[in-house]
């Protein structure tokens, strides 16, 4: 059962992740650890942009806001300054390295000379906070974006990458669930439920590849437990944007038929999704996409980047035992 230190029950029964494996609440402070990781990720984003530009591949980084960052007004008896969020500070460059004055001077000069890093970030906090009272941008019992929240993120992403957004997602089939519990609601005993409408937006995109672990978990009805190392490819003959896109993302992107990945698959001629906050440069060089996107939750800023990561090697290490007794069937076009 969730404790009040892990999950906060805010106004209107809105649930917020406070700790978890990434200790979310502790990230909204001006600590040396926070300052180190903010510097680390700025330099890493700059390095990624420069390396992919050398391959003539555009790159954008999507920082997905935490629920606390957007709906701090729904917290109850907790003092958190949303401007101390990792995503806001990463984009707006405040005084987060004032404890390292000499290092700050050198790093600031370095980043100013290479200002592309800021243009590489897709900023979602401002657009979401400006729309937070119009619709519920997060599920009440979940830490993830609602359909309305994904639409805001999707349109900002399309604007940043010069893509024409699909306009009819709101009109596509829906299913209403009167008793649905998100990842936070499920942590309680008994679970905390909410009524929600799920939008099934996949129509034109066809999945032409799923990695062995994806097929295995889907056959067992456990696709909701998939995580890092999952890999799928979509093709869309009806898409007006001819680009091939590779998206590295986490659970906020997800490739369920209601998720952000499917929105992008409905937009581009071909979309590759790899569940990872790291890049696999070998994969990128083999596929030669027209665009690389990374999507990452704010809470993962406090984890170091490792772009020596390899999808095939990770999947073999992580899932080999699980797949040992199951046929490794991957569907390809």
Task: Name beta bridge partners: 270.
Answer: 235, 244
Rounded to 5 degrees, φ, ψ at 176 are -95, 130
Which residues are CB-contacts of 106 (< 8 A; sequence separation ≥ 6)? Answer: none
1 is a domain residue: no
pLDDT for the residue numbered 325: 67
pLDDT for the residue numbered 215: 83
Instruction: Identify the residue with better confidence: 105 or 185.
Output: 185
Structure confidence by residue, pLDDT tens digits, 126-170? 999 999 999 999 999 999 999 999 999 999 999 999 999 999 999
What is the Cα gyration radius of the chain?
20
Structure confidence by residue, pLDDT tens digits, 59-89? 999 999 999 999 999 999 888 889 989 899 8
Q: Which helix H or strand E contains 212, and what residues bound it?
A: helix 212-219
Q: What distance in Å separates the CA atoms of residue 1 and residue 90, rounded to the nearest whole number?
A: 34
Q: Which whole number is the average pLDDT over 197-222?
A: 88
* End-to-end alpha carbon distance in the chain: 44
Please say whether the beta carbons of 139 and 196 come within 8 A. Answer: yes
- What tokens appear for 220 in the block? 């067992």
Please say whether the beta carbons of 297 and 64 come within 8 A. Answer: yes
Task: Name beta bridge partners: 234.
Answer: 207, 271
190 is a domain residue: yes
pLDDT at 110 over 60: no
328 is a domain residue: no
Instruction: Identify the residue with better confidence: 325 or 133.
Output: 133
pLDDT > 90: percent of the chain: 52
212 is a domain residue: yes
Which residues are CB-contacts of 253 (< 8 A; sequence separation ≥ 6)? Answer: 247, 259, 260, 261, 273, 275, 295
Query: Helix crossing, 32-54 with 101-113: angle to 10°?
Result: 20
pLDDT at 307 over 80: yes
Q: State the residue range of the domain holding 253.
A: 7-323
Structure confidence by residue, pLDDT tens digits, 39-53? 889 889 999 999 999
pLDDT at 22 over 80: no
333 is a domain residue: no
Q: Provide the domain count of the chain.
A: 1
Please say whether the beta carbons of 120 and 88 come within 8 A. Answer: no
> What's the mean per-residue pLDDT of the chain?
86
Query: Helix crossing, 212-219 with 311-323: angle to 10°?
Result: 30
- What tokens appear for 34 in the block? 């926070």
- What tokens appear for 32 in the block? 């040396």
Our CA dihedral for 222, 299, 111, 94, rounded to 10 degrees, sits at 160
- DSSP-based three-state secondary structure for 182: coil
- DSSP-based three-state secondary structure for 197: strand
pLDDT > 70: percent of the chain: 87
330 is a domain residue: no
């Amino acid at each position: 059962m969730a404790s009040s230190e892990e999950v906060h029950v805010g106004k209107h029964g809105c649930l917020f992740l406070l700790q978890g494996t990434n200790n979310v609440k502790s990230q909204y402070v001006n600590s040396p650890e926070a300052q180190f990781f903010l510097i680390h990720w700025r330099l890493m984003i700059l390095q990624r942009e420069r390396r992919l530009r050398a391959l003539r591949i555009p790159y954008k980084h999507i920082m997905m806001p935490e629920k606390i960052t957007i709906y701090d007004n729904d917290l109850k008896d907790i003092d958190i300054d949303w401007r101390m969020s990792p995503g806001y500070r990463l984009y707006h460059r405040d005084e987060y390295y004032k404890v390292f004055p000499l290092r700050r001077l050198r790093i600031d000069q370095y980043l100013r000379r290479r200002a592309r890093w800021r243009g590489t970030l897709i900023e979602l906090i401002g657009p979401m906070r400006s729309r937070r009272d119009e619709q519920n941008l997060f599920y009440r019992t979940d830490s993830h974006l609602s359909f309305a929240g994904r639409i805001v993120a999707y349109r900002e992403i399309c604007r940043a990458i010069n893509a024409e957004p699909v306009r009819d997602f709101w009109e596509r089939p829906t299913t209403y669930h009167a008793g649905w519990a998100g990842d936070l609601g499920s942590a309680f005993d008994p679970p905390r439920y909410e009524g929600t409408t799920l939008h099934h937006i996949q129509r034109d995109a066809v999945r032409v590849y799923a990695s062995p672990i994806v097929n295995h978990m889907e056959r067992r009805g456990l696709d909701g437990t998939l995580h890092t190392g999952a890999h799928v490819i979509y093709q869309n003959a009806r898409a007006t944007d001819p680009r091939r896109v590779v998206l590295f993302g986490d659970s906020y992107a997800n490739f369920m038929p209601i998720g952000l990945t499917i929105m992008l698959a409905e937009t581009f001629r071909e979309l590759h999704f790899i569940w990872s906050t790291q890049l696999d440069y070998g994969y990128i060089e083999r596929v030669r996409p027209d665009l690389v996107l990374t999507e990452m939750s704010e809470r993962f800023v406090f984890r170091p980047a490792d772009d020596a990561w390899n999808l095939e090697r990770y999947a073999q290490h992580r899932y080999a035992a699980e797949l040992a007794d199951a046929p490794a069937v991957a569907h390809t076009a």
